[in-house]
Amino acid sequence: MALLNFGGVEEHVVTRNEFPISKAKEVLKNETIAVIGYGVQGPAQALNMKDNGFEVIIGQAPEFKEDWDKAIKDGFIPGKSLFSIEEAAAKGTIIQYLVSDAAQRTIWPKLKPYLTKGKALYFSHGFSITYKTQTGVIPPADIDVILVAPKGSGTSVRRNFLAGTGINSSFAVFQDATGRAKERTLAVGIAIGSGYLFPTTFEAEVFSDLTGERGVLMGALAGIMDAQYKVLRNNGHSPSEAFNETVEELTQSLVRLVDENGMDWMYSNCSATAQRGALDWRPKFRDATLPVFEDLYARVKDGRECARVLESTSGTNYRVELEKELKELRESEIWAAGKTVRSLRPKS
């Protein structure tokens, strides 16, 4: 492991220098990795491992025809590398449980009989294990239970891999029955294309992940965009101007500077007027939102957000209701304006 300094706090991380792909292949040379679920993370992780030369099979319920057909389109062959969930779980030695959190609870009784001694059960989210009293996902004592959580969507995992960069991931071992759990975890983490891996626990991963998704990464981001756009429109600004000042400049310019070299770098590359305003208003937004984030984290920690997820995503009409909410978001003026603005971007 490499010892890195994060603003005065030291952490150990694993890079491809310490754990190259050749070492991962040695560790996994006798393993068959069964990817259960070909929805969001499944395709990216499976294809990256396949391209890296690992033994990968898919377990997907055939009745979910869209995902089944996608696996075939991606080169997995029914009866050879594409199977039902039960068949894949029986054949696999490392079982990647990559269906949705709600589906993990539903499918668990079907999967558990195939988790025989010495196998590894792999997650990319700590949800089912951390909230096991609510999900009922309690693994047998004689298997490894491990986690590699890419810090991005499946689309980003695949795109970064194809670009040759990789995405950073966290890793954890919940249960080490074989004495090989950690090396299996790191090997799979490298196999799926991680740029580097940093240690966590199942609990810490899910607490930070649920907070991040509901907060800065998605919920808070969309919420403050809605608020600023509304204020601009209510004060007579056009949809294109309101959208450009709220979203387009952020995504097409400023975030790229943050990504390049940090927030201070972005500030230093903006006007003195922008710098002064941002520095003055940053603590106001921090203090205004801090109670919201504290409430959010408390709800994640005590399981209320877990209960909300399981209740809302387990209904028979969940996808219909979800599409209604997404349609409302998609057709709101800010994102309708965004569609038009995006169409005006110069084509490369």
What confidence score (pLDDT) does residue 1 get?
67
What's the mean pLDDT in 282-303? Answer: 97
What confidence score (pLDDT) does residue 7 get?
77
Residues 6+ apart with CB under 8 A from 326: none
Tens-digit pLDDT profile for residues 206-248: 999 999 999 999 999 999 999 999 999 999 999 999 999 999 9
Q: DSSP characters for 144-197?
A: EEEEEEESS-HHHHHHHHHTT--EEEEEEEEE-SSS-HHHHHHHHHHHTTEEEE
Tens-digit pLDDT profile for residues 50-61: 999 999 999 999
How many C-beta atoms surround the C-beta of residue 17 within 10 A? Answer: 8
Which stretches does DSSP call E strand in the chain?
Answer: 2-6, 9-15, 33-36, 56-59, 82-83, 94-97, 120-123, 144-150, 167-175, 194-199
Q: Answer yes or no: is pLDDT of 315 > 90.
A: no
What token pair was written down for 120? 């590894």
Please answer whether residues 245 and 166 qualify as being in contact, where contact means their C-beta atoms are separated by less than 8 angstroms: no
Q: Which CA distances in Å does 187 have to 55, 171, 173, 194, 340?
A: 13, 11, 13, 10, 44
What confidence score (pLDDT) does residue 162 get?
94
Q: Which CA distances in Å does 100 have to 42, 61, 168?
A: 10, 13, 21
Average pLDDT, the chain: 94
What confidence score (pLDDT) does residue 68 get?
96
Pairing state between β 94-97 and 33-36: parallel
- CA dist 244 and 262 (Å) reads 22
Active site residues: 125
Q: Which CA distances in Å does 300 have to 103, 131, 209, 235, 312?
A: 20, 10, 10, 37, 16
Burial annotation 253-291 (CB, 10 A radius, 16+ → b, else e): ebeebeeeeeeeebbeeeeeeeeeeeeeeeeeeeeebee
End-to-end CA distance of the chain: 41
What confidence score (pLDDT) does residue 219 get?
96
What confidence score (pLDDT) does residue 38 get?
95
- What residues does 58 pair with on adjacent strands? 35, 82
What confidence score (pLDDT) does residue 11 get?
81
Q: pLDDT band for 40, please (50, 70, 90 cuts).
A: confident
Tens-digit pLDDT profile for residues 140-199: 999 999 999 999 889 999 999 999 888 999 999 999 999 999 999 999 999 999 989 999
Nearest to 11 by CA among 230, 202, 200: 200
Task: Name the DSSP class of 14.
Answer: E
- CA dist 10 and 12 (Å) reads 7
Q: pLDDT band for 44, please (50, 70, 90 cuts).
A: very high
Q: In the chain, what are the domains?
A: 2-200 (3.40.50.720), 212-343 (no CATH)
- What residues does 3 pair with on adjacent strands? 12
- CA dist 334 and 329 (Å) reads 9
What confidence score (pLDDT) does residue 347 get?
80
- In the chain, pLDDT over 70 holds for what percent of residues? 99
What's the mean pLDDT in 334-346? Answer: 93
Q: In what order do the strands lie in the sheet with 167-175?
A: 2-6, 9-15, 194-199, 167-175, 144-150, 120-123, 94-97, 33-36, 56-59, 82-83
What confidence score (pLDDT) does residue 27 get?
97
What confidence score (pLDDT) does residue 188 get?
97
Read off the pTM.
0.90
